[in-house]
Chain A
Amino acid sequence: MDRRIFLRGLGTLGCSAAAHPWLTTLTLAATPGENRLVVIILRGAMDGLDVVQPRGDAGLAAARPGVLAKAVDLDGFYALHDGLSDLMPLWAAGELAFVHATSTPYRDKRSHFDGQGLLEAGTGADLAPAAQRDGWLNRLLAVLPGAQSETAWAVGREAMPILAGAAVAQNWAPDQDLQISPPARALLEHVYDADPLFHRTSVAAFDLAGMEERAGQDTDLIADFVAERLRGPARIAAFSLTGWDTHKGQERAIRRPLDQLQRAVLRLKAGTGPEVWGKTVVMAMTEFGRTVRQNGSGGTDHGTGGAMLVAGGAVRGGAVHGRWPGLAEADLYDRRDLMPTSDVRDWAAQAMMGLFGLDQATLEDQVFPGLRMDAPKGLIL
């Protein structure tokens, strides 16, 4: 193939210059200390009420007559969605914790893009999206003494704004093209429905080449890669898991992303080995929670307070952290969402304090500007 011929075709365009990284993204970072932090961004808004079910709250069953899945008891009040049940040995071993009713400062607008923007920028909601130029893991790198070029890694095909910024971080993605996720496919079907040709053709097109089959493999490759880097000089890594936007048929739709999350955690544990896993914290966080009441399609819509998963040998596990706000209508945010009782950034800051020995002033001024940290909560060993 002659590239110049191809370019002649393009030459008529007069395009402007743009960033053109022929690279993909995995976010990993290597620091002098021995502890490791992995952040998983759960894109699409994970339904914390379904994943970590407050069975002890009578409001739950009333709000969710059809959506709630089978669950395994955790502590008599909370129960874990059956789709994460392979993680129960970690819970028993004290290597798995959750935070409930937590959120970023994002409120009311319910946009995935803006919610993720704020989650990864780690700023307050007072900053315009355009001003959120770097991510909080990148700012962490900047204050970590002795951070090297191999200290941090952004992994996977999704861009990871959480590690974007002035400090050097590495990127990696599996060398295969990811297929369309079920939520994206549902949206595309909605668009095609109004167009007879595209609608008719897409029915067969979606059946081709097992369009959804490879996403799980992709997650395995990412987790294995991160584990390998963590055994080496990397101390910080970030990647995404998608598919959480369960507006319809949640009972079925949430299983695939849950399975990917549980596989990712288990492969990180297996791949790092006991010594490194013992110095590792994995935090899986999402842009916001979902509505307390299920909708008319057997799903849930964009909400506010949600849940976070924290795993690793360095975690003080076996507990669901966070003050439970209750599900009575008067207890809800805007009478529809779980009321956040803590800030996601506070938990991340607590983890970084425990893992990297950073002081409170540095965390509040530089990593999460504007955050006022709460009293220590004993999340990290």
Chain B
Amino acid sequence: MAHPFGGKGTKARQPFDFMVAAFRALGVSPDAILSASAREMKRLILDPLQAMGQPFHQAPGPDGWPEAEADWITPQGLAARIDWAMAAPERLVRPLPDPRDFLRTALGNRAGERLTWAVGAAESARDGVGLVLASPDFNRR
């Protein structure tokens, strides 16, 4: 059965969709985003989107954003996703969920064996939640 947050896992989630899916999985409400200062907004959302390769509302040309996953999972793009996955959740949600629960919330039954093992082995809640968000499992749709 398909999980409501996930799809078939054949394409990379584009950065904006990646972030939105992360907010949903973390239970961050639009009100919470609205209450952020302009500075937090830039730091938590706008700068990371740009670093991931998708500056907000600046689609290049009439064809829009590329679809191939190799266009998104670049060294720079992936580094930015990892950074965000590790640092942003704690700024968004206190306390962080138990990573083992978060894995189920975020991926349902789509989580691979390796990810499930790694999340259980993480040394802190921060690392465990970050692993889920940085995983191929979460970054594909």
The answer on a CB contact under 8 Å between A181 and B127 is: yes
A330 within 8 A of B: no
The answer on a CB contact under 8 Å between A184 and B35 is: no
A123 within 8 A of B: no
A209 contact set on B, CB distance < 8 A: 79, 83
In the assembled complex, how far is the CB of residue B76 from the closest CB belonging to chain A, in whole angstroms? Answer: 7
The answer on a CB contact under 8 Å between A188 and B131 is: yes
User: Would A157 and B126 be within 8 Å (CB), given that A7-B33, A18-B26, A190-B114 are in contact?
Assistant: yes
Cβ < 8 Å to A, chain B residues 100-125? 100, 112, 114-115, 117-118, 120-125
Chain B, 65-96, contact with A by CB distance < 8 Å: what is the 0/1 string? 00001100111101100110011001111111
Closest 7 A-B residue pairs measured CB to CB?
Answer: A20-B32, A44-B123, A204-B75, A18-B27, A245-B123, A205-B79, A184-B127
A1 contact set on B, CB distance < 8 A: 38, 41-42, 46, 56
Q: Which of the segments A8-16, A138-146, A318-326 contacts the partner chain?
A: A8-16
**Interface residue count on the B side (C-beta < 8 Å):** 67
Q: Please report the C-alpha to C-alpha distance between residue A45 and residue B121 in the assembled complex, in whole angstroms.
A: 12
The answer on a CB contact under 8 Å between B91 and A24 is: yes
A211 contact set on B, CB distance < 8 A: 79, 82-83
Cβ < 8 Å to B, chain A residues 37-65? 43-45
The answer on a CB contact under 8 Å between B24 and A159 is: no
The answer on a CB contact under 8 Å between B93 and A18 is: yes
The answer on a CB contact under 8 Å between A205 and B123 is: no
User: Would A43 and B90 be within 8 Å (CB), given that A16-B29, A191-B115, A204-B75 are in contact?
Assistant: no
In the assembled complex, how far is the CB of residue B18 from the closest CB belonging to chain A, in whole angstroms? Answer: 12
The answer on a CB contact under 8 Å between B124 and A43 is: yes
**A15, A157, A164: which has the most chain B beta carbons within 10 Å?**
A15
The answer on a CB contact under 8 Å between B23 and A16 is: no
The answer on a CB contact under 8 Å between B131 and A205 is: no
B139 contact set on A, CB distance < 8 A: 198
The answer on a CB contact under 8 Å between A188 and B134 is: yes
Residue of A nearest to B120 (CB): A111
From B24, B69, B115, contact of A15 by CB (8 A):
B24
Q: Please report the C-alpha to C-alpha distance between residue A15 and residue B21 in the assembled complex, in whole angstroms.
A: 10
The answer on a CB contact under 8 Å between A18 and B29 is: yes
The answer on a CB contact under 8 Å between A18 and B123 is: no
User: Would A20 and B29 be within 8 Å (CB), given that A5-B57, A201-B74, A205-B75 are in contact?
Assistant: yes
**A184, A204, A209: which has the most chain B beta carbons within 10 Å?**
A184
In the assembled complex, how far is the CB of residue A92 from the closest CB belonging to chain B, in whole angstroms? Answer: 33
Q: Please report the C-alpha to C-alpha distance between residue A68 and residue B29 in the assembled complex, in whole angstroms.
A: 49
B78 contact set on A, CB distance < 8 A: 198, 201-202, 205
Q: Please report the C-alpha to C-alpha distance between residue A184 and residue B57 in the assembled complex, in whole angstroms.
A: 33
Q: Please report the C-alpha to C-alpha distance between residue A292 and residue B45 in the assembled complex, in whole angstroms.
A: 45
Q: Please report the C-alpha to C-alpha distance between residue A9 and residue B85 in the assembled complex, in whole angstroms.
A: 20
From B24, B41, B118, B134, contact of A190 by CB (8 A):
B118
In the assembled complex, how far is the CB of residue B65 from the closest CB belonging to chain A, in whole angstroms? Answer: 14
Q: Please report the C-alpha to C-alpha distance between residue A87 and residue B120 in the assembled complex, in whole angstroms.
A: 34
Q: Please report the C-alpha to C-alpha distance between residue A5 and residue B58 in the assembled complex, in whole angstroms.
A: 13
Q: Please report the C-alpha to C-alpha distance between residue A227 and residue B137 in the assembled complex, in whole angstroms.
A: 42
In the assembled complex, how far is the CB of residue A13 from the closest CB belonging to chain B, in whole angstroms? Answer: 5
In the assembled complex, how far is the CB of residue B95 from the closest CB belonging to chain A, in whole angstroms? Answer: 5
5 A-B pairs whose Cβ atoms sit less than 8 Å apart in the complex = A17-B32, A25-B94, A113-B122, A184-B130, A205-B82
From A19, A113, A161, A207, contact of B128 by CB (8 A):
A113
A25 contact set on B, CB distance < 8 A: 90, 94
Q: Please report the C-alpha to C-alpha distance between residue A206 and residue B82 in the assembled complex, in whole angstroms.
A: 9
The answer on a CB contact under 8 Å between A20 and B114 is: no
Other than A9-B20, A211-B79, give 12 A-B pairs with Cβ distance below 8 A: A1-B56, A3-B36, A10-B30, A18-B29, A129-B98, A158-B90, A159-B96, A184-B86, A187-B127, A190-B117, A192-B136, A209-B79
In the assembled complex, how far is the CB of residue A306 from the closest CB belonging to chain B, in whole angstroms? Answer: 14
**B38, B56, B125: which has the most chain A beta carbons within 10 Å?**
B125
The answer on a CB contact under 8 Å between A177 and B83 is: yes
The answer on a CB contact under 8 Å between A197 and B28 is: no
The answer on a CB contact under 8 Å between B33 and A10 is: yes
B56 contact set on A, CB distance < 8 A: 1, 6
In the assembled complex, how far is the CB of residue A352 from the closest CB belonging to chain B, in whole angstroms? Answer: 24
The answer on a CB contact under 8 Å between A20 and B83 is: no
User: Would A191 and B41 be within 8 Å (CB), given that A15-B24, A15-B30 are in contact?
Assistant: no
The answer on a CB contact under 8 Å between B83 and A197 is: no
The answer on a CB contact under 8 Å between A20 and B35 is: yes
A208 contact set on B, CB distance < 8 A: 75-76, 79
Q: Please report the C-alpha to C-alpha distance between residue A181 and residue B100 in the assembled complex, in whole angstroms.
A: 19
Q: Please report the C-alpha to C-alpha distance between residue A206 and residue B32 in the assembled complex, in whole angstroms.
A: 31
The answer on a CB contact under 8 Å between A159 and B125 is: yes
A242 within 8 A of B: yes
A5 contact set on B, CB distance < 8 A: 57
